Structure 1
Amino acid sequence: MKDGKPCRVCTDFKTWSKIEKQNSKQPAHSASTSNSTEEQTSKMPEEEWRKKNCPADVETLGNATWTLLHTMAAYYPERPAPSQMESMKSFISSFSEHYPCWFCKDDFKKAVEREPVQVGSRKKLSEWLCRRHNEVNEKLGKEQFDCTKVFERWLNGPPDGRCD
């Protein structure tokens, strides 16, 4: 709560919703709900409905962000031109300035200061990003990803062809 308000993208949705309800005198949902919304809600599980209709929480945003970043790195040129290297540096810098979760943003900026983005090749960028992701995984108590498998995970899929 940087400015005294809960941050939706820094907090899981349930916690954010509870905080918002406590801070608000009005109920979270209006009593006048349309029939089509009621029908949608009754036809799908609550969690699925939330994923499709509610603003992103920290987990949803994080998963989507890592997917985008790793996929960008996997498709980055093996031998990038100077303009491509500069563009990727600029993207990472801009990304770290505009990420909506202030805690995550500040943490990522510090990581980039410690180890600047490596844009010399697809492999260097992918491995650099994997190390950043593993730093976050460690802080969250999650399993470390084997960075030797970045292309299998984000570019080619497993050797057994399950993703083909």
Structure 2
Amino acid sequence: MTAPPDVEALGRSTWTLLHTIAANYPKSPNYKEQSDLKTFMGLFSRLYPCWVCAEDFQKYMEKEQIRVDSRNEFGTWLCEAHNAVNTKLGKPVFDCSKWEERWRTGWKDGRCD
């Protein structure tokens, strides 16, 4: 039997899910797809099992309006949100110009990580 994930394991898994959603979001989403993503992110930010993290993310979303007009806009917005969390935690930030290479197409040099 395994223990429930701690905040760090939950966070890593969550970021993987969210970045994968961004990578698979349509390049030019229609109104319904944009609306669905906004709804999902709003619900996600309220249902996230770490209440401190959830409140933090809600505040971030109020300050930095979610951008859902294209895959690149959402992927970049999400990367910036992730970097804001990493900065708060004293972790390195990621070059958001490379978000799609990291989460969608793979590294140009063929590396796995």
TM-score, L = length of structure 2: 0.96
- Select 1:129's aligned residue among 78, 83, 101: 78
**Aligned partners of 1:121, 1:95: CA distance in 2, in Å?**
20
Comparing 101-110 with 154-163, greater Cα deviation is found at 154-163
Task: Give aligned-pair identity as a percent.
Answer: 52
Letter in 2 for 1:70: H
Question: RMSD of the TM alignment (CA)?
Answer: 1.0
Q: 2:16 matched to 1:56? A: no
Match of 2:111 in 1: 162
**Aligned partners of 2:23, 2:75: CA distance in 1, in Å?**
6
Letter in 1 for 2:75: S
Would you identify which runs of 4 or more consecutive aligned residues in structure 1 move more than 2 Å? 160-163
After superposition, the C-alpha distances for 1:2-58 in whole angstroms (9 at most, x for unaligned) are xxxxxxxxxxxxxxxxxxxxxxxxxxxxxxxxxxx7xxxxxxxxxxxxxxx221100
**Aligned partners of 2:87, 2:110: CA distance in 1, in Å?**
30
Match of 1:90 in 2: 39
Gap runs ≥5 in structure 1: 1-36, 38-52
TM-score, L = length of structure 1: 0.66
- Select 2:52's aligned residue among 81, 97, 103: 103
Match of 1:74 in 2: 23
Larger radius of gyration: 1
Q: CA offset at residue 160 of structure 1?
A: 2.2
Match of 2:67 in 1: 118
After superposition, the C-alpha distances for 1:90-123 in whole angstroms (9 at most, x for unaligned) are 0000000100001000000000000111000000
Q: Number of aligned pairs? A: 112
Match of 1:40 in 2: none
Match of 2:14 in 1: 65
